Amino acid sequence: VFAAEYLEDLGYREVNLNLGCPMPTVTNKRKGAGALKDPDALSAFFDEVFDALSSRQTAPSISIKTRLGFYGEEEVDPLFSLFGKYPFSKVILHARYGVQAYRGTCDLAATARAAAHLSVPVIYNGDIRGTDDIAR
């Protein structure tokens, strides 16, 4: 909350919360994609951020960069249902799970399910190497 308020004071209009970093040095501290392991703690964090910023006249918009979950496909619906409860300006979605890091393939079916829970723009991220990949 302090960081968002400070960035607003510096003139920033948007703060992006990074829930996508898969590196163990980050995730072992429950930061980056590691935060996805505990939806209850995430919800409490989001409540605190949005409650604090709601009283400010010129609060920055809040967006997130995230993955589909940390461990696997069973996390997608509960996690994105949770995200859908908050007034994020957009969601940037890396279509892998935290445990995959940058290995394996993106889960396009789970990406579609995740996006269905959201009413804000979803920006796809992951394995876009050329124009042919955009068509997928």
pLDDT for 97:
98
The string of pLDDT tens digits covering residues 78-107 is 999 999 999 999 999 999 999 999 999 999
Domain that holds residue 23: 2-135
Cβ contact 84:51 at 8 Å: no
pLDDT at site 136: 66
Number of domains in the chain: 1
Q: Which residues, listed in sequence order, are joined to residue 93 by a DSSP beta bridge?
A: 66, 124
What is the reported pTM?
Answer: 0.89
Where is pLDDT greater, at 131 or 25? Answer: 25
CATH code assigned at 110: 3.20.20.70
Q: Which residues, including other chains, have CB under 8 Å from residue 103's CB and lie 6 or more apart?
A: none
